[in-house]
Amino acid sequence: MQVLRVVNVIGCRTDFIKIAPLLAEMKRHPEINPVLVHTGPHDDLGFLEACRDLDMPEPDYFLNVGSGSHARRTALIMQGLEGLLFDLNPDLVMVVGDVDSTVAASMTAIKLGFPVAHIEAGLRSFDREMPEEINRILTDSVSDLLFTSERSAAHNLHREGVARAKITHVGTVLIDALLMKAPTIARSNVLERLALAPRTYSVITVHRSSNVDDASNLDRIFAAIEDLQKHLKFVFPVHPQMNGRLQATNAWSSLAMLPNLQMVGPLGYPDFMKLLRETLFTITDSGGIQEEATALGVPCLTLCNTTERPATVTQGTNRLVGTDTERIVSEGMKIINGFIFRGGIPNKWDGQTSKRIVRAIIKKQEEIKQLYRSVRQRAICSDLFSISAA
């Protein structure tokens, strides 16, 4: 029996959530030998907590790349992965999402001649000021297998000239994780710890650089929260990047004075999902939360003018409000006053996405092996040409 060695590369806490159900499914199949690489440091407490929350084994390898600019992180990840991938000699490199590790791993793998599979391929916000959008476009352009989470993604890829044979619609792995951990989520006592009752609060998250690093955007968002918290309790799990921003300004003390706003540290996966499941509505700039809110039937106000997940708007519970204070307040007050918009769940958001991905990989096993040989040969020839030219 041929065995496919699949190297899975992750780089942030959300990646752990996405890869957990997929890794569990891979381990059920002897045809696949999964390897997990975390681009961050081995002593990152956030990843240790994520592993524990998701019943995941610790990663097999760490690249120990810390924080820094996009360019610095991408370069260091590529440098660290080059030797590791050469030693591991994988049949396939799997990347998820749109963070720096995604584009770094895909570019490194394809340069070395290893085929690449991209989960959440084809998502587009059409806003190239977002670093994530650049990461998505570059990753898709070099990937050999593109697994899409919603119908619009395939249309985007077709417009960009990607061959249809490379694209497989599978759904979103985030819903797999949500359903996989449903019993643990149900047992969370986070509401009791925060003295909250279901549907009596809103949960807000802010983490995108376009908001965190823009003082005017933050001012408008917080002005809306200051107004809305007069009518409803708010819970604000503060992302580490946001924490640094708040501590560097007077915003932390100003927010702490708001009587109906609780600021808490980052929450583990079960606690946060319990908080999201029971909220009246959520205000966020997270793409993942847009999907999770739709799956849970929770109204979502997104702090962006565009979204790479349009199905959450056209089929789900999501509304785009940008960072306009009046619009955020207006949409929030509609919900507080009883107007709850309901949505459906997009096709294949059923908790079976990991199974579809693994079945596709096994079905394409021989094709992947041949692709590996042909791509690897081209990479070797390219290297020889570079050496001779020098």
Same structural domain for residues 295 and 201?
yes
Share of the chain above pLDDT 70, in %: 94
Angle between helix axes 13-26 and 353-363 (nearest 10 degrees) is 60
Mean pLDDT, residues 249-253 taken together: 76
Residue 205 inside a domain? The answer is: yes
Residue 208: what pLDDT? 85
Share of the chain above pLDDT 90, in %: 76
* pLDDT of 388 above 90: no
* pLDDT of 390 above 60: no
Residue 177 inside a domain? The answer is: no
Q: State how far the alpha carbon of 321 is from the alpha carbons of 89, 202, 220, 288, 307, in Å.
A: 46, 16, 12, 17, 11
* pLDDT of 122 above 70: yes
Q: Are 231 and 333 in contact (CB under 8 A)?
A: yes
Burial class, 249, CB count within 10 angstroms (exposed 0-12 / middle 13-18 / buried 19+): exposed
Same structural domain for residues 328 and 360?
no
Active site (catalytic) residues: 207
Name the average pLDDT for the chain: 92
Instruction: Write the secondary structure of the chain as one string of H (helix), E (strand) and C (coil).
Output: CCCEEEEEEECCHHHHHHHHHHHHHHCCCCCEEEEEEECCCCCCHHHHHHHHHCCCCCCCEECCCCCCCHHHHHHHHHHHHHHHHHHHCCCEEEEECCCHHHHHHHHHHHHHCCCEEEECCCCCCCCCCCHHHHHHHHHHHHCCEEEECCHHHHHHHHHCCCCHHHEEECCCHHHHHHHHCHHHHHHCCHHHHCCCCCCCEEEECCCCHHHHCCHHHHHHHHHHHHHHCCCCEEEEECCHHHHHHHHCCCHHHHHHCCCCEEEECCCCHHHHHHHHHHCCEEEECCHHHHHHHHHHCCCEEECCCCCCCCHHHHCCCEEECCCCHHHHHHHHHHHHCCCCCCCCCCCCCCCCHHHHHHHHHHHCHHHHHHHHHHHHHHHHHHHHHHHHHC
Q: pLDDT, tens digit, for every residue of 2-11?
A: 899 999 999 9
Q: State how far the alpha carbon of 45 is from the alpha carbons of 34, 37, 42, 111, in Å.
A: 23, 16, 9, 32
- Name the domain boundary from 336, 358, 379: 336
Mean pLDDT, residues 150-156 taken together: 97
Mean pLDDT, residues 268-284 taken together: 97
* pLDDT of 387 above 70: no
Residue 311 inside a domain? The answer is: yes
Same structural domain for residues 357 and 289?
no
Same structural domain for residues 13 and 36?
yes
Q: What is the Cα–Cα distance from 125 to 322, expressed in whole angstroms? A: 13
Same structural domain for residues 272 and 354?
no
Same structural domain for residues 163 and 260?
no
Q: pLDDT, tens digit, for every residue of 53-112?
A: 999 989 999 999 988 888 999 999 999 999 999 999 999 999 999 999 999 999 999 999
Same structural domain for residues 265 and 368?
no
Residue 341 inside a domain? The answer is: no
Q: pLDDT, tens digit, for every residue of 296-344?
A: 999 999 999 999 999 999 999 999 999 999 999 999 999 999 998 889 9
Residue 375: what pLDDT? 62
Q: What is the Cα–Cα distance from 228 to 261, expressed in whole angstroms? A: 10
Among 189-193, 198-202, 252-256, 359-363, the minimum mean pLDDT is found in 252-256
Q: How does residue 379 score in pLDDT terms, banded at 50, 70 and 90?
A: low
Same structural domain for residues 23 and 68?
yes
Burial class, 201, CB count within 10 angstroms (exposed 0-12 / middle 13-18 / buried 19+): buried
Residue 117 inside a domain? The answer is: yes
Q: Which domain holds residue 328?
A: 182-336
Residue 176 inside a domain? The answer is: no
Residue 331: what pLDDT? 97
Q: What is the pTM of this model?
A: 0.92
Same structural domain for residues 297 and 261?
yes
Mean pLDDT, residues 170-190 taken together: 97
Q: How does residue 209 score in pLDDT terms, banded at 50, 70 and 90?
A: confident
Among 282-296, 346-360, 364-378, the minimum mean pLDDT is found in 364-378
Q: State how far the alpha carbon of 121 is from the alpha carbons of 92, 151, 244, 285, in Å.
A: 16, 11, 31, 20
To the nearest 10°, the Cα dihedral for 214, 215, 217, 221? Answer: 130
The count of structural domains within the chain is 2
CATH of the domain at 245: 3.40.50.2000
Residue 95 inside a domain? The answer is: yes
Mean pLDDT, residues 166-173 taken together: 98
Residue 192 inside a domain? The answer is: yes
The contacts of residue 242 (CB under 8 Å, 6+ apart) are 206, 207, 212
* pLDDT of 48 above 70: yes
Q: pLDDT, tens digit, for every residue of 59-70?
A: 999 999 988 888
